[in-house]
């Protein structure tokens, strides 16, 4: 049941990302990725709110949690998961690991993107 919930949420989240980013790109100038920026911030806001509510006020079962956090928000933006995991490290006092996670993913992600792009040009 949980894999189906994740898949369903992921499909809906991806569709929401497409619609929201598309709307933003039609309204704002194209020289900055405003759509992706907004999607990432909204995803982080939603992830934090849902996580906080599920910890403090509402009981969210494992299937609903998987649907919302992994599926829906994971399909909407993986940046929200990245932010949550980095926050957890900070909350646990693991400042070096949090820095390594944030900085490492940014730097290595850019390097990996560049390598993939360079490799594609060799084909």
**What's the domain range around 59?**
2-77
Give the global pTM. Answer: 0.77
Q: For residues 48 and 93, which has the higher predicted lDDT (pLDDT)?
A: 93
| Number of independent structural domains in the chain | 1
Percent of the chain whose pLDDT exceeds 90: 60
Asked, for residue 39, whether it belongs to a domain, the answer is: yes
| Whole-angstrom distance, CA of residue 49 vs CA of residue 38 | 16
Asked, for residue 123, whether it belongs to a domain, the answer is: no
Can you tell me the mean pLDDT for 39-56? 87
Residue 61 is classified by DSSP as: -
Asked, for residue 88, whether it belongs to a domain, the answer is: no
Place of tokens 């806001």: 45
Asked, for residue 31, whether it belongs to a domain, the answer is: yes
């Amino acid at each position: 049941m949980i894999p189906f919930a994740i898949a369903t949420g992921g499909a809906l989240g991806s569709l929401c990302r497409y619609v929201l980013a598309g709307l933003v790109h039609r309204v704002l100038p194209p020289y900055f990725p405003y759509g992706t920026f907004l999607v990432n911030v909204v995803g982080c806001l939603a992830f934090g709110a849902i996580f906080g509510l599920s910890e403090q006020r509402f009981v969210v079962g494992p299937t609903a949690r998987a649907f919302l956090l992994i599926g829906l928000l994971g399909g909407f933006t993986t940046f929200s998961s990245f932010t949550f995991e980095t926050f957890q490290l900070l909350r646990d006092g693991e400042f070096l690991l949090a820095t390594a996670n944030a900085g490492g993913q940014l730097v290595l992600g850019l390097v990996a993107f560049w390598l993939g792009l360079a490799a594609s040009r060799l084909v």
